[in-house]
Amino acid sequence: MNFDLQLAGKRAVVTGGTRGVGAAVVELLSQLDARVVATARSKPKNPIDDVHYLEADLATAEGVREAVETAGRLLGGIDILINVVGGSSAPAGGFAMLSDIEWTKALDLNLMAAVRMDRALLPGMIAQGSGVILHVSSIQRVLPLHDATIAYAAAKAALSTYSKALSKEVTPKGVRVVRVSPGWVETEASVDFLGGIAANAGTDYEGARQMVMDALGGIPLGRPAKPSEVADLIAFLVSPRAASVSGSEHTIDGGTVPTA
């Protein structure tokens, strides 16, 4: 059976599109003949020839404005917006280590970047009577790691709630809104992070990997997800094949979250 995702020619914007999950999504959409604009704070090491890359800091309103204007000019309209950008730079040590500045940074990157992108691009989707917005949340919204990612987890929880509310408003207008909640994904940044853990704990990479899985309560699958696996799920959800899917959250965590 030919399971064509019918994404050829679709105009897509992917935020955080040069590393990790975002880069995997950009690569897959390009292979499926979508027209892709990828935004990030820096250009990729190995750019894809038919992808437009925009350097923009989406944690700022000005960065969003510039990215939206350029993407619209390049694509002539947007069919798909995939909000991947996110992350945490907060210091470890729990709640007391988080200043107002750290909280603001977490919310600007993990919540407001998506809100501002949606606000800018939704009117065009509504006017054309179709579109898809996907938000990448995190299982940390329900399984926060209190020592290191409280602000990140809280921002992702807010993103999921916002996404659900938005779906109820705009789905009747022809725009689907869905979200994906990855667990631990073994990205380049994750590999670097594990290297630091291994050095501090006096163990090797595999030992550090197991330490993180244990901290998450175990991963029944026995390993973290690959960026390409998350990209496969995202590509399906934004495709016409998922035309009846809106307002839902799709977890991809190898069974980490103990309840649905």
- The residues spanned by each domain of the chain are 11-184+228-244, 186-224
Looking from the CA of 202 toward its CB, the CA atoms found within 13 Å total 0
Taking alpha carbons only, the member of 70, 74, 48 closest to residue 58 is 70
Taking alpha carbons only, the member of 157, 154, 151 closest to residue 93 is 151
Does the pTM exceed 0.95?
Answer: no
Top-level CATH class of 11-184+228-244?
A: alpha beta
Is the predicted pLDDT of residue 1 greater than 80, yes or no?
no
Model pLDDT for residues 74-114, shown as the tens digit of each residue = 999 999 999 999 988 777 778 888 899 999 999 999 999 99
Burial level of 98, CB count in 10 A (0-12/13-18/19+)? middle
**Dihedral angle, C-alpha 93, 249, 132, 167, nearest 10 °:** -100
| Average pLDDT score over the chain | 94
**Average pLDDT of the segment spanning 21-33:** 98
Model pLDDT for residues 191-200, shown as the tens digit of each residue = 887 887 888 8
Residue where the block lists tokens 């989707």: 125
